[in-house]
């Protein structure tokens, strides 16, 4: 291994926390490698409710530090990635004798409006659902509601954009590379990875190791490190269903259930409504997580308590499920377990340090990365200062409120595009859309049409620039075009990608 580069930092895990830490570290001048055993965001980070939010319900559990940090991050992240993050108004219907009294909801929303440095997001207001269009799809028993602000994010795209930016800043990003062993040797970490694509084995050396494997964080400690009786995280399953559009209003709904849990009903990809999430403990392997019939019935029943038109299992066009790795704080109920993150350094003096990352959520990933970099600096020496607060993710170099002008600019440059296609490209890639479209002067110049608004030019970009390998990578993580392609069209894309890989 003589002559082999010694990285400052080796990160295990290509979810939002791992990619966020790699990006921040690379931008400060650390030499970084990151290994993800599957595709980026293929676990928890693509299975969220896709909200950039303060966490209104966390106030009930007195998580004021987490809520304040999350509220402050909403507009920071929106400015950083205005293509994949945008504001969303939420309608919270309530009735007398309901789960929570109106005064408690008002108090929570007052804190929500004033705790976190809100500048662009509009404040809370009260709605008369008998007159406001938001009341139209709801049962008449709901006559009043509160409307408040939070944000929406394309979660999987935010992850891959962090990975791309880390690579642009010099990080060595390894997808589909499983860490099979890690041990200390002569003051360094020696990490062995095995390619999931061709089986090749590579050994890496690093001054410090970061275990950001999400739901697999304990498995990494048990497997790659050979430890026994590892138990740091509590796995909680969250499942979502997607149904044909239940309402035309652009706002989302926040529904309170009799069991004190909450679900959201959110406009999704133009033609659909996303309903979720569930909260239940999970004890199996995270890779096997699937929505259960009980969860399907729970979500359908909970939404049907509010909507005039019931939600039935037959209405479901797609569902997804993921496991959240919450730090095990001993809470009795899954929905009460802390959503805060915990960072723990291991290593005696003179040992190569290990940083374990437990918990976390999409909204606070950037702050988690900053806190991780503080610990990294204390362990192996500081390099550059914190920098991500005013930064932009690739393609996000336009004003937070300038989505429409950015779409108009793309349509002006490529007048053959349909508006819906242009909007989707800007939502996925922002200003990078022009790099994808290149010199195209007609739809024919975009190459093979795979279905929906997916063309060869975009697929090649995803393979060349964003590590896409399979049809699932393209259709369900890089884009949501899986909702619009037929099974035959999806097979055609898979065959095409197989041909590219073999070429």
The pLDDT of residue 366: 98
pLDDT tens digits for 412-438?
Answer: 999 999 999 999 999 999 999 999 999
Report the run of H or E that residue 405 belongs to, with start and end. Answer: helix 403-413
- The alpha carbon of residue 10 and the mean position of all alpha carbons in its chain are separated, in whole angstroms, by 22
Confidence band for 1, pLDDT divided at 50, 70 and 90: very low
Confidence band for 3, pLDDT divided at 50, 70 and 90: low
Residue 501 has which token pair?
């890989």
Q: Decide if pLDDT at 409 tops 60.
A: yes
Planar angle of CA 483, 417, 50, nearest 5 degrees: 35
In 240-309, alpha helices (H)? 293-304
Asked whether the beta carbons of 355 and 343 are under 8 A apart, the reply is yes
Where do we find the tokens 């992240």?
Answer: 77
- The alpha carbon of residue 9 and the mean position of all alpha carbons in its chain are separated, in whole angstroms, by 23
Q: What is the mean pLDDT of residues 193-219?
A: 96
CB atoms within 10 A of CB 259: 12
Cα 426 to Cα 83, 420, 431, distances in angstroms: 6, 10, 7
Asked whether the beta carbons of 138 and 306 are under 8 A apart, the reply is yes
The pLDDT of residue 337: 66
pLDDT tens digits for 224-279?
Answer: 888 877 788 899 999 999 999 999 999 999 999 988 889 999 999 999 999 999 99
Where do we find the tokens 């138990």?
Answer: 231
Confidence band for 62, pLDDT divided at 50, 70 and 90: confident
The pLDDT of residue 4: 80
Lowest mean pLDDT among 61-75, 96-110, 188-202, 486-500: 96-110
Q: Decide if pLDDT at 132 tops 70.
A: yes
Q: What is the mean pLDDT of residues 399-406?
A: 97
φ, ψ (nearest 5 deg) of residue 424: -65, -40
In 208-319, alpha helices (H)? 217-223, 293-304
Question: What is the tally of helices (H) and strands (E) in the chain?
Answer: 13, 20
Where do we find the tokens 């990635």?
Answer: 81
């Amino acid at each position: 291994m003589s002559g082999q580069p010694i990285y400052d930092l080796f990160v295990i895990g290509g979810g939002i926390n791992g990619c966020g830490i790699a990006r921040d570290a690379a931008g400060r001048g650390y030499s970084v490698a990151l290994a993800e055993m599957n595709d980026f965001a293929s676990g928890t980070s693509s299975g969220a409710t896709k909200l950039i939010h303060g966490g209104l319900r966390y106030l009930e559990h007195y998580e004021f530090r987490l809520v304040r940090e999350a509220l402050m991050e909403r507009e920071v992240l929106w400015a950083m990635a205005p293509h994949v993050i945008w504001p969303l108004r939420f309608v919270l219907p309530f009735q007398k004798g309901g789960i929570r009294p109106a005064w408690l909801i008002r108090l929570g929303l007052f804190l929500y409006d004033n705790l976190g440095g809100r500048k662009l997001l509009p404040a809370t207001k009260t709605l008369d659902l008998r007159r406001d269009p938001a009341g139209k799809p709801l049962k008449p028993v709901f006559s009043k509601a509160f409307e408040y602000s939070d944000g929406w994010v394309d979660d999987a795209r935010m992850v891959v954009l962090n990975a791309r930016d880390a690579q642009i800043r010099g990080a060595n990003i390894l997808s589909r590379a499983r860490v099979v062993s890690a041990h200390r040797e002569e003051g360094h970490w020696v990490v062995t990875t095995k390619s999931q694509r061709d089986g090749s084995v590579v050994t890496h050396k690093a001054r410090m190791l970061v275990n950001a494997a999400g739901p697999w964080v304990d498995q990494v400690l048990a497997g790659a490190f050979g430890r026994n009786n590892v138990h740091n995280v509590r796995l909680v399953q969250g499942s979502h269903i997607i149904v044909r559009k239940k309402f035309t209003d652009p706002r989302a709904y926040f529904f309170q259930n009799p069991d004190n849990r909450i679900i959201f009903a959110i406009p999704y990809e133009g033609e659909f409504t996303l309903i979720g999430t569930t909260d239940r403990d999970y004890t199996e392997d995270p890779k096997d997580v699937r929505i259960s019939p009980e969860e399907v019935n729970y979500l359908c029943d909970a939404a049907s308590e509010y909507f005039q038109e019931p939600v039935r299992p037959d209405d479901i066009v797609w569902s997804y499920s993921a496991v959240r790795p919450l730090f095990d704080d001993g809470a009795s109920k899954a929905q009460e377990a802390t959503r805060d993150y915990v960072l723990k350094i291991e290593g005696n003096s003179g040992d190569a340090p290990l940083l374990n990352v437990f918990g976390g959520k999409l909204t606070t990933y950037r702050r988690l990365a900053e806190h991780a970099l503080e610990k990294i600096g204390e362990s192996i020496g500081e390099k550059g200062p914190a920098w991500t607060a005013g930064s932009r993710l690739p393609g996000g170099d336009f004003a937070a409120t300038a989505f429409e002008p950015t779409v108009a600019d793309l349509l002006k440059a490529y007048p053959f595009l349909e508006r819906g296609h242009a909007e989707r490209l800007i939502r996925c890639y922002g200003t990078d859309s022009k790099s994808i479209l290149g010199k195209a002067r007609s739809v024919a110049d975009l190459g093979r049409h795979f279905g929906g608004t997916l063309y060869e030019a975009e697929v090649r970009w995803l393979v060349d620039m964003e590590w896409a390998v399979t049809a699932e990578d393209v259709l369900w993580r890089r884009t949501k075009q899986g909702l619009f392609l037929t099974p035959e069209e999806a097979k055609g894309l898979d065959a095409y990608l197989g041909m590219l890989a073999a070429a």
